[in-house]
Amino acid sequence: MEIYNYRLVLLAFAGSIGMTFVILGCALPIYKVWWPFFVVLFYILAPIPTIIARRYTDDSGSNSNPCLEFAIFITMGFVVSSFALPIVLARSPADQPVIEWGACYLTLAGNIVVYSTLVGFFITFDQDDTDYNMW
């Protein structure tokens, strides 16, 4: 059980690093635009379909589960949208871009770290021998 506590601390640290990248992309004095912070909405929405599908599907032993596959499809839509949002904001008309490319890069780096943390969360706490298997 002790190893899972270290994993939990590591996942919390990684999530805070990812959010720090996103906040830096918004709050640094050269950027000062908070539009990239809308990716946090995607961070909240992305795991919800998978959590719901895992909770309400039965493990019948088959390789195909349409409910879980549809939930993963919806989750991937949220993930792709969170990567696309800063790119679209940075590629707005050249005379007046909404965000700078540096803010876009910081937000994309935050996306990679946060989604890696979410994947690590599902891998670590989906095992049967943990007390956190309610997720």
> Can you state the angle between helices 66-90 and 101-125, rounded to 10 degrees?
160
What are the pLDDT digits (tens) for 88-112? Answer: 999 988 678 789 999 999 999 999 9
The model carries a pTM of 0.83
Q: What percentage of the chain has pLDDT greater than the value 70? A: 86
Task: Give one DSSP letter per residue of 87-126, joined into a string.
Answer: HHHHTS-TTS-SS-HHHHHHHHHHHHHHHHHHHHHHHHHT
Report domain extents, the chain.
2-125
